Structure 1
């Protein structure tokens, strides 16, 4: 491959990965063509991008970015997967697809999360974390819980008083 072509491919990769901070490396080489098409379709539906790339060109394109550690020591055919809502959603989808019988040869080879290289085992661990949406809902529950408790406690006293007044008025009505 000529130097001009390598530079063009490197520039294209840089533009595609502009702003990408988290990515996973996967193995798709042992999948059959039809399975690869089905895999790409499923990933595309979840806004996840898959790109098979030559390791040396990927290293050149990622040089000086947070993706750089992912390509240190990579060998063999490598595909890069990025996108989704966050790295947890990405890891969940990759783990789910690799456990699918149709794509059992599709495996995670590692990746990068916040500029730190992660191993295939760590990808499985990350897939068990709550996603960004789940984390936000947990946080909102924790923020709103004390207010709801306080509101309930403040209203409980008034409700008890109203109940007692009602009981007294019912006794007086029954006595008349």
Structure 2
């Protein structure tokens, strides 16, 4: 491949990866074409993108970016997956798909999160974290809990009094 073509491909990859800070590397070698198409379709439905790219070109395109640590020491053919709601939802989806027998050779190989390199085991650990949506619901529950408790404590004596008045009126 000529230097000119490499530069063109590198520029295209840089524009695709612009603004991407979290991504995962997966192994797709040996996957059947139909399974690959179905996998990409499922990922697209969740606003996730999969790109198989030559490691040397990916290193050139991500040099000096937050994605650079993902390709340090990587060997063989790998695919980059990015997008989704957050890196946790991305890791959950990749882990779920890796366990599906339909996509047998598909497996997480690592990635990058906030500029830190992830291993395959790290990806599995991140997939067990609560997603952004779950974190927001937990936080909202913690914010509303004291108010609900206070409301229940304030209404409790009034309810007891109303119950006693009702009982007296029935006698």
* Structure 2, unaligned runs of 5 or more: none
Matches within 5 A, 1:18-29: 18-29=18-29
The separation in 1 between residues aligned to 2:169 and 2:94, in whole angstroms, is 66
Which residue is 1:132 aligned to? 132
Superposed displacement of residue 64, structure 1? 1.2
1:3 deviates by: 1.2
Deviation at 1:47, TM superposition (A): 1.0
Say whether 1:114 aligns with 2:114. yes
For 2:163 and 2:132, how far apart are their aligned partners in 1?
44
Normalising by structure 1, we get a TM-score of 0.94
| TM-score w.r.t. length of structure 2 | 0.97
Give the CA deviation at 1:93: 0.7
Name the CA distance, whole Å, in 2 between partners of 1:89 and 1:168: 58
> Gapped runs of 5+ residues in structure 1?
172-176
Q: Give the drift of 1:114.
A: 0.9
Q: How does 1:5-24 map to 2 (within 5 A)?
A: 5-24=5-24
| Distance in structure 2 (CA, Å) of the matches to 1:162 and 1:14 | 69
CA RMSD, aligned part only?
0.9
Count of residue correspondences: 171
Q: Hey, which bits of structure 1, 4+ residues long, moved more than 4 A? A: none
Please give the residue correspondences for 1:154-169 in structure 2 after superposition, counting only pairs within 5 Å: 154-169=154-169
Aligned to 1:174: none
Corresponding position of 2:69: 69
Q: 1:39-78 residue pairs with structure 2 within 5 A?
A: 39-78=39-78
| Cα distance, 1:32 vs structure 2 | 1.7
